Structure 1
Amino acid sequence: MLNYPEIDPVAFSLGSLKVHWYGIMYLLGFAAAWQLAMVRARKGVGPCRPEQVEDLIVYGAMGVILGGRFGYVLFYHFDRFLEDPVWLLRVWEGGMSFHGGMLGVIVALYVYARKINAPFFAVTDFVAPLVPIGLGFGRLGNFIGQELWGRATDVPWAMVFPNDPLALARHPSQLYQALLEGLVLFAILFWFSAKPRPRMATSGLFLLLYGSFRFLVEFVREPDSHIGFDVMGWMTRGQLLSLPMIIGGLALLVWAYKKSNNRS
């Protein structure tokens, strides 16, 4: 068993204001995505000019934050929302959902694509390789914050999280996700998008791979205590929400290459 590297979730304080590592990870993710987007835009990759990248990041950030909060409330705590609708607006109490954030980003990119008069899927293909950077940083933030940990296990790299009331040795599933959803997904999408591909193909590959990685990691990630398992006594809410991504990503890939072959 490995020792959990106890890191204070609060990076530093400014008077009464506490700056958490999780928030810093979000900022690092947006900053890294911004830099990569600028590099790609200067090379003429995608529909965005360098001077349009700033707006792209702002739109994406708004989609992540608003969609992530709405998704967390509606997908995971809808009963609490019904009891206290104003809780939706109390974002400082924490709670974000990737699947909600993704829907928020889709809406934001649709608005952005109309603003710059570019095809929607041309914009999503440009953005898809940028997303894993933020995902990787976000999962590291989860690890530092001791949240979304894994199920109990006896593997040699299991960890006991100090905040765990049961003090069980668990999978460090946040690190699994940081590796798969961050590093591996970024490497594949960056390689795939480095060459001309049919429109929608990069977006489809992102959906397919993220959905698959998330579905697999959910087998070792602790289900939400207030939800448990949704379907057949083993499928979690995260797996249920990932299925449409897997199916939709595969459909986009098939459609993209079918259209490309028909044009050829």
Structure 2
Amino acid sequence: MRNPMSLLFGSIPSPPFQELVLGPLHFRMYGLCIALGVLASVTLARHRWAARGGDPEDITTVALVAVPAGLIGARLYHVITDWPDLYSDGRWWPNAFLVWKGGLGIPGGVLLGALAAIFMARRMKMDWKLMADAAAPALPIAQAIGRLGNYFNQELYGRPTGLPWGLQVENPPLRYPVETLFHPTFLYEGLWNLALAGLI
């Protein structure tokens, strides 16, 4: 049964859709959130790099390598860490490649993306430490925006809650009543990332 506070002040509704449909084209909101996060982070890094006297196009060149590497690293991390639960039944192919359904491990993305960025910066004779300083707040910005994708995918929510900002889940775990509200942990992390970007 819902907490009276949530009944009084409402809750976060479940998303009305998971795809943006434009004629024959279907765009998963999860993927759009990831893309928007990448675009925002690259734009911020370009601006900060230019403020340090660098050519913003250098950041774009680095991003063209670092972003795909980061996505590969994030997916690899997810597949490896979730292998026993999601992929060990022999159906890992092609399930391991269905990125638009969710499943990106941030530690793997940051690690492989950072290594690729440093490699490219050194190859381009850039000061990679200065570049890292310019790009530092861009990472949590991308993470904050990308976390919205978890909302549309109805994933990464927490335990049941009676707080007014509890999240409605369309298909909650079977052990919970349909009207149960859950902690929107993806929202907490998104706000934490915005605060971190502000501090940096």
TM range (shorter): 0.7 to 0.9
Q: Does 1:12 align with 2:18?
A: no
**Equivalent residue, structure 1, for 2:43:** 35
**One-letter identity of the residue aligned with 2:192:** L
- Quote the offset at 1:92 in angstroms: 4.7
Corresponding residue number in structure 2 for 1:151? 159
| 1:108–1:173 Cα change, 3 Å | same
- Quick check: 1:187 aligned with 2:198? yes
Q: 1:150 to 1:93 in 2, by over 3 A?
A: closer
Distance (Å, rounded) in 1 between the aligned partners of 2:169 and 2:143: 21
Distance verdict in 2 for CA 1:136–1:92, change over 3 Å: closer
1:123 maps to which residue? 131
TM-score by length of 1: 0.62
Q: Tell me the CA shift for residue 82 of structure 1.
A: 8.2
Amino acid at match of 2:17: D
Using the size of structure 2 for normalisation, the TM-score is 0.80
Q: Which residue of 1 aligns with 2:3?
A: none
1:201-251, Cα deviation, whole Å (9 max, x unpaired): xxxxxxxxxxxxxxxxxxxxxxxxxxxxxxxxxxxxxxxxxxxxxxxxxxx
The C-alpha deviation readout for 1:99-125, integer Å capped at 9, x for no partner, is 111122122112212221234433322
Change (3 A) 1:71 1:81: farther
Q: CA deviation at 1:93?
A: 4.7
| Alignment match of 1:106 (pick from 99, 114, 118) | 114
Structure 1 Cα separation of the partners of residues 32 and 130 of structure 2: 30
Q: Which runs of 5+ in 1 are unaligned?
A: 190-264
The yes-or-no answer on 1:176 pairing with 2:188 is yes
Contact 1:74 1:81 in 2 (8 A): no
In structure 2, do the counterparts of structure 1 residues 26 and 91 end up closer, same or farther at CA, with 3 Å as the change threshold? Answer: closer
Q: How far apart in 2 are the matches of 1:103 and 1:135? A: 14
In structure 1, distance between residues paired with 2:30 and 2:100: 12
Output the amino acid matched with 1:118. Answer: M
Higher helix share: 1
SS at match of 2:150: helix
Contiguous gaps of at least 5 residues in structure 2: 1-5
CA contact (8 A) 2:31 2:100 kept: no
The match for 1:71 is 77
AA of the residue aligned to 2:142: G
Which structure has the higher relative contact order (CA within 8 Å, separation 6+)? Answer: 2
Quickly say closer, same or farther: Cα 1:126–1:78, change in 2 above 3 A: farther
SS at match of 1:22: helix
**How much identity, in percent, do the aligned residues show?**
29
Q: How many residues align?
A: 185
Residues 48 and 135 in structure 2, CA contact (< 8 A), matched pair in contact too:
no
